[in-house]
Structure 1
Amino acid sequence: MSTSAIIFVVDRLGSGFLGPYGNTWVETQSCNRLASQGLLCEFMVSDSTALESVYRSYWTGRHAMDVSLADESLPEMAGKAGLKTILLTDEPLVAEHPLAAGFAEKMLLPAEDVTALATEIDQTQIARLTQAALEVIARQREPYLLWIHSRGMSGAWDAPQEYRNAFRDEEDPQPGDFTTPPLMKRSGRFDPDELLRYVHSFAGQVTVMDLCVGALLDAAAEQRMAQDTLFAFTSPRGYPLGEHGQVGPVENALYGEVLNVPLILRLPQGRGALTRTQELIQPGDLHDLLCAQLVPGSPSLLMDIAERRDHLPRDIACAIATGERAIRTPAWFLREVRKGDDEPRVELFAKSDDRWEVNEVASRAAEVAEELKAALDTFEQAALHGRLDGLAPLAESLSNQWR
């Protein structure tokens, strides 16, 4: 098949910092542009906090709770379909992933010990990676799959100082010149001024990242294969910035600031343009979409949405981490925490009103919490046995809180 694909993955980027997802104070013109040309998934829910697990989902279509082996990985399938497959990353965990062996070409940019902010954008880590990607794109003459993974906000926060200062009001604290991603946990509230420094610094990183998205979009548009090139932008997990007592992934608790990530797709020939979906999407769906590009007719929820085909709506998304599980439905979000032999502790939040999960209601909706725990058990067992396609629809009380 003649379709090419560019996949740009930026680690530790929650959807809430992007304009297409409702952010009004960080300018993300390139992401806005991409969203205007494609399909935006409002509820892309990561299935794990572990990078290796999310990549297994990307490259096999298996959920993080499904430990079975896949017959063939995405890069292997793309290679057999005649695409040149290239992996470009600055993250050793991705380059050394067992499934990365399926790429015909792997490029790992060496990590640098960053101790000072960049003075120019092109000195930042993500810009260096983007420049390498632009060079790869310029060399392509035949259909290809280029998978770009940036360490993003899990790497050095090295945006030039002016990009941090751009968000600072006169009375706000100076954001500082630190480059190491902050990691801290508090039992009480964070000092607002301290937190603001981190938020402004993070926003500066997002601004630089958005410029890199724009450069990749421009490069893809200049190719003769432009109309036949799929472009996907996503992240495997977000970065806590004071929500639920954490700055940074101290414990990788399964809350929305970690699980809610962007997924914006520009499909070949303009399919799905100007479409927003509120269906629950997970990392394995990106695999299925790319497989459907390689083998027309292959099942893909995202392709069904883009082409407005009749399909059963997705009413459940689940995630797993060490000692934790979570389930998201259109109406609820439940987090379950297990510590040793203690009885699991659950937290319940109403969706979509409680976007940031601040109003815990398990004690007031105990029956719903029990039903969600049972649904989570059912999902996990189905995943373990590779039977997620056979899951029955949820009860109305779990998919619609007003019933």
Structure 2
Amino acid sequence: MRRAIVLVIDGWSAGYLSPYGTAWLETPALNQLAAESILIEHATVETLNLDRLYRSWFRAAHPLAPDDGFDLAAALASIGAACHLLTDEALLRDAAGSFELASAEFLPCEEPKSAEHEDDTELARIFAILCDWLGSEQGDELVWAHARGMAGAWDAPLDYRRSLAEEEDPDPPTYVTPPALRPTGKIEPDELLGLSQAYGGQVLLIDTLMEELLAAIHALPTERQPLVVVTSSGGIPLGLHKQIGRDAELPLAIYSNLTQVPLLIRLPGAAEGLTRLQGLTASSDLSATLLDWFGAAKPTRSEDPTRSLLQLDEPGRDRTLCVQGDELYLRTAAWGARVYGDHQCQLFGKPDDRWDVNDVADRCPQVTPLAIDLAQQTRDAIQTGAALPELPEELTEGL
């Protein structure tokens, strides 16, 4: 019997997870999950548009790739594996209706308010259903659970965010609806502190709920444990680059704090635990991984860069490309490049400048135009289904 859970928590950046380097959040359950999993160090979502991302996931291709009719859910159904969608995000209704899902359950969302107990939060509803599913025996199945997460109500009990405040700190904010604005002036330190405490409280909530989910998995014999994938559909800005929150009415510049997401893959019995993959990975690789896990055929394409992350000996990608409106974010092993407007570019040295703080485009005149050209040529190649252009040697070498 082959089963799998994919848990996507929207708005969760890799920067707020201890195994990715965060020192100020104590998350023992998430740390345990990471220790039992294959941890993908550099996972990039290929768009922050939720509808396009899900169509990409279920088409097993980059969002810009030509539509060839492939359907992940149909491919799984053809080998007897049912694919179910569970979500509290109404924006996924159109995408869900485009694929041959065995079922789609949409959980209603009420007026947001701080919960008295973690079991009363939006996230807890999804975790509870997953725990119940673990005890069932329905044959080969994939449960794809998408939580609004950080893009929904910040409704963890207020004690969670209070636990992150020092004695001399001001009281953490009590808002439940995440703020969204584009400050023109300096952001006050107390405002940034409150944002991180409120957001961090939601991460602590995830950790509490993950403890229960892991306990339910550990209670099963290894042969009944599912493949578990935990990831995100993109981060939320918390003041970096003069951006707070995501809102459809506000402009959004894409940087690595939004595009780089956690990606943890736990095999039954924690096989391959403590494995850390350093190569570049794109969101569409998740689809190839699921097809591999269930033994379903991948789409037949002349040019297909997707790869199963269960094949640990395969090298990572040489680049990833996130597309958001007219903006492109190109990532190679040595560089991150935000390409926007009329041949404008911000350039960041990788992997040291993890969150794109130090723009070195003016200091690297030999690299910047190559990054612009490669981002645009890669976009064009993906759109036409052609082979990707060769990576210039200058974009493989760091500062």
Identify whether the pair has TM-score above 0.5, normalized to the shorter chain. yes
Name the stretch that deviates more: 162-171 or 263-272.
Answer: 263-272
Contact 2:347–2:361 (8 Å) recurs in 1: yes
Question: Structure 1 28/8 Cα, relative in aligned 2: closer, same or farther at 3 Å?
Answer: same
Instruction: Say if 2:190 is the partner of 1:193.
Output: yes
Partner of 1:265: 265
Paired residues for 1:202-281 under 5 Å: 202-224=199-221, 226=223, 229-249=226-246, 250-268=250-268, 270-281=270-281
Match of 1:161? 158
Instruction: Report the counterpart of residue 76 of structure 2 in structure 1.
Output: 78
Please state whether the residue corresponding to 1:185 is helix, strand or coil.
Answer: coil
Q: Is the 8 A contact 1:56 1:99 kept in 2?
A: no
Q: Note the C-alpha offset of 1:57.
A: 2.1
Q: Is the contact between residue 14 and residue 20 of structure 2 (CA under 8 Å) also seen in structure 1? A: yes
Q: Provide the residue aligned with 2:301 in structure 1.
A: none
Write the letter of the residue equivalent to 1:143.
D
Q: Is the 8 A contact 1:236 1:261 kept in 2?
A: yes
Q: In 1, are the aligned partners of 2:37 and 2:275 still within 8 Å (CA)? A: yes
State the AA in 1 paired with 2:141. Y
Per the alignment, residue 152 of structure 1 pairs with 149
Corresponding residue SS for 1:76: helix
One-letter identity of the residue aligned with 1:260: Q
Q: 1:206 to 1:100 in 2, by over 3 A?
A: farther
Q: What CA distance in whole angstroms lies between the structure 2 residues aligned with 1:214 and 1:100?
A: 34
Distance 1:80 1:296 in 2: 8
Give the letter for the 1:263 counterpart.
L
Gaps of at least 5 residues in structure 2 are: 299-303
Identity %: 32
Q: Is the 8 A contact 2:75 2:296 kept in 1?
A: no
> 1:397 — aligned with what?
394
The residue aligned with 1:97 is 95
Structure 2 partner of 1:365: 364
1:367 Cα deviation after fit: 2.0
After superposition, the C-alpha distances for 1:230-251 in whole angstroms (9 at most, x for unaligned) are 1000001001011000111242
Q: Which amino acid aligns with 1:54?
A: L
The number of residues matched between the two structures is 391
| 1:269 CA displacement | 5.8
- Within 2, Cα distance between the matches of 1:34 and 1:167? 22
- Cα pair 1:89 1:95 within 8 Å, conserved: no
SS of the aligned residue for 1:8 comes to strand
Contact residue 118 and residue 159 of structure 1 kept, 8 A: yes
* 1:355 maps onto 2:354 in alignment: yes
Where 2:276 maps in the other structure, the secondary structure is strand
Instruction: Evaluate the alpha carbon distance shift between residue 215 and residue 15 of structure 1 in structure 2; reply closer, same or farther with a 3 A threshold.
Output: same
Matched, 1:386 2:385: yes
- 2:27 is matched with 28
Amino acid aligned to 1:110 = P
Give the C-alpha shift of residue 300 in structure 1: 8.6
In the TM superposition, residue 207 of structure 1 has moved relative to its aligned partner by 0.6
Q: Distance in 1 between matches of 2:223 and 2:34?
A: 17
* Corresponding letter in the other structure for 1:323: D
Whether contact under 8 Å (2:334, 2:350) holds in the other structure is: yes
Deviation at 1:316, TM superposition (A): 0.4
Q: Secondary structure at the match of 1:376?
A: helix
CA distance in 2 between counterparts of 1:72 and 1:220 reads: 32
User: For residues 257-336 of structure 1, what are the structure 2 equivalents within 5 Å?
Assistant: 257-268=257-268, 270-295=270-295, 303=308, 306-309=310-313, 311-336=314-339
Amino acid at match of 1:364: R
Distance of aligned partners of 1:63 and 1:297 in 2 relative to their CA distance in 1, 3 Å threshold: closer
Whole-angstrom distance in 2 between the partners of 1:318 and 1:99: 27
RMSD: 2.1
Per the alignment, residue 140 of structure 1 pairs with: 137
Q: Which amino acid aligns with 1:295?
A: G
After superposition, the Cα gap between the structure-2 partners of 1:189 and 1:271, relative to the gap in structure 1 and judged at 3 Å, is: same
Closer/same/farther in 2, CA of residues 160 and 376 from structure 1, 3 Å limit: same
User: Deviation digits for residues 2-21 of structure 1, max 9, x if unmatched?
Assistant: 32100110000000110110
Tell me the SS of whatever aligns to 1:111: coil
Shift of the 302–277 alpha-carbon distance from structure 1 to 2, 3 Å rule, reads farther
Provide the C-alpha distance between the structure 2 equivalents of 1:251 and 1:218, rounded to a whole number of angstroms: 41
Q: Give distance in 2, aligned partners of 1:207 and 1:40.
A: 19
Shift of 1:101: 3.9
Q: Which amino acid counterpart does residue 92 of structure 1 have in structure 2?
A: A
Give unpaired runs (5+ residues) of structure 1: none
Q: CA deviation at 1:371?
A: 0.7
The alignment's TM-score, normalised by the length of structure 2, stands at 0.92
Q: CA deviation at 1:344?
A: 3.3
Contact 1:220 1:226 in 2 (8 A): no
**Could you tell me which amino acid in structure 1 is paired with residue 276 of structure 2?**
R
Deviation sequence 1:246-302 (CA, Å, 0-9, x none): 111242311011111100001246443211111111110000011112227859966
Q: Distance in 1 between matches of 2:305 and 2:322?
A: 20
